[in-house]
């Protein structure tokens, strides 16, 4: 079993104690879980994308079908797009077909 040089000859890794800084392991895990949950539940920002998944049978305006289930701008442009999910595009966005809205 590995040993620490500073821990003495009879002290191994399992017997090393870590400072708790006044917080139990359960509280630390709970804080980590809440942080991860908050990150998942916050609305995702639409980012400029060169490649997007092909939702329907056609690609959005400005994208080319790469024949692998994706649509690409071929590296020429970056558009900020988001799926329409069957709804109208939000204010400041325009429908570009293929199930996507693009930011104006």
37 in a domain, yes or no? no
Structure-derived torsion over alpha carbons of residues 65, 71, 72, 73, reported in degrees to the nearest 10: 80
Q: How far apart are CA 92 and CA 83, in angstroms?
A: 14
26 in a domain, yes or no? no
77 in a domain, yes or no? yes
79 in a domain, yes or no? yes
87 in a domain, yes or no? yes
For residues 26 and 88, the model is more confident at: 88
| pLDDT band, very low/low/confident/very high, at 102 (cuts 50, 70, 90) | very high
Bridge partners, residue 80, by sequence = 48
- Structural domain of 95: 48-103
Domain count for the chain, please give it. Answer: 1
Asked whether the predicted pLDDT for residue 29 surpasses 90, the reply is no
pLDDT tens track for 75-89: 989 999 999 999 999
pLDDT number for residue 47: 77
59 in a domain, yes or no? yes
pLDDT number for residue 40: 40
19 in a domain, yes or no? no
Q: How far apart are CA 10 and CA 68, in angstroms?
A: 60
Half-sphere exposure of 23 (CA within 13 A, CB side): 9
């Amino acid at each position: 079993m590995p040993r620490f040089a500073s821990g003495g000859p009879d002290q191994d890794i399992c017997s090393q104690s870590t400072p708790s800084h006044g917080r139990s392991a359960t509280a630390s895990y709970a804080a980590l879980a809440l942080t991860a949950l908050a990150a998942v539940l916050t609305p995702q920002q639409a980012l400029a994308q060169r490649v997007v998944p092909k939702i329907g049978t056609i690609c959005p305006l400005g994208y080319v079908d790469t024949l692998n289930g994706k649509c690409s701008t071929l590296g020429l442009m970056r558009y900020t797009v988001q799926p329409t999910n069957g709804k109208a595009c939000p204010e400041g966005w325009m429908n570009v077909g293929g199930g996507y809205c693009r930011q104006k």
